[in-house]
Chain A
Amino acid sequence: MISARRPLLLAVLLTVACRAGPPGLPAPAAPELPTPGAAPSDTACRIAPGPASKRDTVAVALAEPIDPTHAPSPRNDAERFVFAALYETLIRLDCAGRVLPGLAQSWEAGGDRWTFTLRDDARFWDGAPVTARDVVAAWRARDSAFAQSATVLSDRMIGVRPPAAPFQPLADPALAVTKRAPGGDWPIGTGSHWVSETDAAGVLSAVPVRRGALPVLRVATVPAGRTRDAVDEGSDLVITGDPAVLEYAATRPGFVDVALDWNRTYVLLAPGHPDGLADIRRESLRDAVHLDARPAEWSGGRFWLADLQACGFPTTRDTAVSAPRRQRVVYDQSDRNAADLAARLVGLGTLGNRSAATGLAPAVFAAALRAGGDAAYVLPLRRRVFDVCRAALELPPWSWTGTVEPLLDVRPHALVRRGLPPLQVDWDGTPRISPR
């Protein structure tokens, strides 16, 4: 259902979306419910490398691992791409921050709540229709604040009390509607594709739910050193940030290099406020990584993690400050850019000349980060979030009052083979295959 006040709401949406930098995201004090944004013919967020040819299969090469247990909340660019094809939220935001229908085909504001009406043909992969109860159950399973504010009005209608935060979190992949798959790795979603198999080589096949509308996605995860091989071995879409790969792809006329959004910021997190934190010389950090990067930029005066006063988190108690710290800069050893940045910080003597960089296995790093027993941590965070308080809850409590130094913004590139069906880019820079 499209409201008559659409032009006004669109203007408000665009204003809000621009607040956090390009493409800019809003943080209105009194959120309003916008009407659906982009028209089908809008090409602002569209990647169309040349005339599209008919394709039944699109080979995708991703440089990062995909873990089904993370679904539907992605933790890297690869998972973001795959999960976007498998799962849906009530609404979507395109790269311009415009609201698009998702599982909800229409919505309206009335009284003290928003009312969302689900798409008539919304179904899970197993054919079961998606009901309002399924939506609320999925939200509740992830302990969402929205689940508490949601009311089931009918099988297809959901009432949501508007929160103080903006409405955009409804497009957060964490609020995608899923249900548990008995005996399966992948939660059952409502997206355009479903996972049919993962072969012995680790290549994942995502088959469109409605045959003919979309191509089959064959998604391969390639090691960092073999991304160029993927380009040469027939991949149609490669998502990578490796400059060497981009440089090589530039020599291949069959590919178009599309820079996606600056979607992640590498930060230095330090428990407490260490003395003598030397100048990190942010402008020199770009040379330290092998990625399309720039010195971190943010709007509003402070990086979102350093601006949590409105969240009501404790500000005087810092349980990790008093503990003795190991003089090391810790990073996830599977993240080469974090390793490069940690090494650069050690080289700069940011934490003193006796500090060292230490890479930890992902699970160990997560535990170390929770404990906060080291001098500093280097890790990527989402560059923009709709709800900073909810995003901050994903980090250890000591980080709310610790030192946050944004280091670099990074972005992936999509190497798209010419003739590929057009791609739509979401608000977080995630490309997705558009229907033919």
Chain B
Amino acid sequence: MTFRTRILVGFGVIVLVPLALFGVRVRTEMASRLTAEYEGRVAALAAVIRADLTRDGAAIARRLNALTDAIAADNRFRAAVLQGSDRTYLLDYAGGAMHFAGLSMLQIQDDQGRIVSSGHFRNEYDRLEPGLPRALAAAQGGIALIQTRTPEGPVLAIARLDSLRLAGRRFTLVGGIALDSTYLAELTPDSELSVVVRLPTDSLPAATSAGAVLSEVSLPFVLESDSGSALRPARIVVSHSLGSLTALRRGVDVAFLAAVLLAGTIALLLGGWLSLRISRPLTALARKTAQIDMDRLNVSFDSERADEIGALTRLLGSMTERLRAGAAKLREAERRIAMGDLARQVNHDIKNGLTPIRNVFRHFTETAATEPDRLTTVFRERQGTVEASISYLENLAGNYARLYPAPAREPCDVRQVIRETLGRLGATGTPDLRADLAEDLPLVCTDQLVLRRILENLIGNAVDSLEARPGTVTISAMAGAPANGRLGVRIIVADTGKGMTRTELDRAFDDFYSTKPGGTGLGLSIVRRLVLDANGVLRVETQPGAGSRFIVDLPGA
């Protein structure tokens, strides 16, 4: 895991974990408080319903009592019910009485339980329903919920029983008010609360508390069509939907999610910015450090920062400086060892060639001193040895000469070689290299490898002359002066480095002369030899402190 990633993860954890804990706590507290509030409202409404039932039961009792008085005083009713006259009046009586009394149902039965008049179902006359008054008489408080028939279907009503006697016959009145959707709707002050009636005959499963807060009001129930008309408990279920709580939770969740996203985004941006501030100099430092090797120790590690990164940069710069000094010493030692080895090898090889010759000359000397007449004979005898030794030395010279093979001479495109060279040097991180190459340069007659070595040496020296300070190295190529009827090419390698003093300029092309720590002192001497081998001319223009210009004129191909 990168340092930057760690910073980002750290920021995320620091921001998101407290937010998550806060959100969970808010949700829990909110659910707890609202549920308690709902429970209170449900309980209050259940109490109101109980009070309403009691009040309605009393109102029904009063109205039925008034109706019994009215019936007792109604001669037309008496005649109809006792003598069978005016049947239409009797059948319509309960309908009118029911409406005048403000009831929703009214049923008048005779002493046999036969319906003689019904307000809510006029044409159910003559049907026997003796069980209904009996069940209502047994109901606690005299009030019960009944399911009675109408032409359009069954309806629920809160009903009571009353009775009167006419000519010794007992007539019962069952009256009530409808417990319908209107009645229930008036009980519910808002849409969150709902009131439903659960009958013992319902096939639907009982309501559970999942998704709602419940409370119940129980009251006796009679099914009119039930032959036994037994009392069974019915329930008025008050429920408060948890929909608002769910909606509130959803709202909080959305807000919380938005907060998390916002905080997370801010944390990521902040962490990214911070990590970038920290990791960018480290990355640059790592990139610079990666450039360092034994052949490239001129990497600068300057920093003005006063923090740890600045200290680390300076430390790396100091280390690089020590490495640079050590590398110079190492190269010097290697050069010395290589030169010593070469000298010893040359010494050994020459000695091997000179020793027979010296022996032959010693023999000649001794013979000339002791046997002058045999000198010719000895010369002939030893001539082969001398010639063999000379041949050996010539071979030896040829072998050493083959250590530097003869360059090829072929048309060469200066622009292409310069570009390739710059590309290669540029790829190694050499800064401030500029090229100014004229178009349509003629080809030159030299080996591309030779030209490349010339350029590499001159550009390398120019870069070194900058001594890691800001400056530029410019390589220019232009048409040169004509020679032998052909246009040549002029290559100029100019730098803004330290330049050379007159003394340094005089010795610049000497073998083994170098002003650079660890330099071999062979670079410019090789360049000069290569330019001469290419039939070219090498010139130098320099000014101490201002830079140098190395001018190479090469003949055209």
Residues of chain A at the chain B interface (Cβ within 8 Å) = 243, 284, 287-288, 290, 339-344, 346-348, 353, 356-358
Contact = CB atoms under 8 A, between A and B. Distances in A.
A339 B149 CA distance: 15
Nearest to A355: B153
Interface of B: 87-88, 91, 121-127, 149, 151-153, 225
Contact of A347 (B87, B88, B123, B153): B123
A345 to B, nearest CB: 8
Contact of B151 (A243, A346, A353): A346
Given A340-B123, A343-B121, A347-B125, A287 B91 contact: yes
A287 B225 contact: no
A284 B127 CA distance: 12
Given A357-B152, A358-B152, A287 B124 contact: no
Contacts of B125: 287, 347
A302 to B, nearest CB: 27
Given A284-B126, A340-B122, A347 B91 contact: no
A347 B152 contact: no
Nearest to A346: B151
B285 to A, nearest CB: 88
Nearest to A289: B123
Central interface residue in B88, B151, B225, by most chain A CB within 10 Å: B151
A343 B88 contact: no
A351 to B, nearest CB: 12
Contact of A343 (B122, B126, B225): B122
Contacts of A339: 151
Contacts of B127: 347-348
Main secondary structure of the interface of A (DSSP, over half): helix
Given A347-B124, A347-B125, A353 B88 contact: no
Determine which residue in A243, A290, A344, A347 has the highest number of CB atoms from chain B within 10 A of its CB, and name it: A347
A408 B501 CA distance: 144
A251 B126 CA distance: 32
Contacts of A344: 123
Given A343-B151, A356-B153, A357-B151, A243 B88 contact: yes
A287 B85 CA distance: 12
A346 B124 CA distance: 8
A247 to B, nearest CB: 9
A346 B126 CA distance: 13
Nearest to B87: A287
B172 to A, nearest CB: 18
Nearest to A285: B123
Q: Which 7 pairs from chain A and chain B are nearest by CB?
A: A343-B151, A347-B124, A344-B123, A357-B151, A356-B153, A343-B123, A288-B123
A352 to B, nearest CB: 11
A256 B125 CA distance: 33
Contact of A356 (B87, B152, B225): B152
Contacts of A358: 152
A344 B123 CA distance: 5
A419 B33 CA distance: 85
A290 B89 CA distance: 11
A353 B121 contact: no
A339 B152 CA distance: 10
A348 B128 CA distance: 11
A125 B121 CA distance: 50
Contacts of B88: 243, 287, 290
Contacts of B121: 343, 347
Contacts of B225: 353
16 contacts: A287-B88, A287-B125, A288-B123, A290-B88, A339-B151, A340-B122, A342-B151, A343-B124, A343-B151, A344-B123, A346-B151, A347-B127, A347-B151, A356-B152, A357-B151, A357-B152
Contacts of B152: 356-358
Contacts of B149: 346-347
A213 B124 CA distance: 52
Contacts of A340: 122-123
B154 to A, nearest CB: 8
Nearest to A284: B126
Contacts of B126: 284
Nearest to B118: A347
Nearest to A358: B152
A283 to B, nearest CB: 11
Nearest to A343: B151
Nearest to A340: B123
Contacts of A290: 88
A290 B122 CA distance: 12
Nearest to A331: B151
B149 to A, nearest CB: 8
A248 to B, nearest CB: 14
Contacts of A356: 151-153
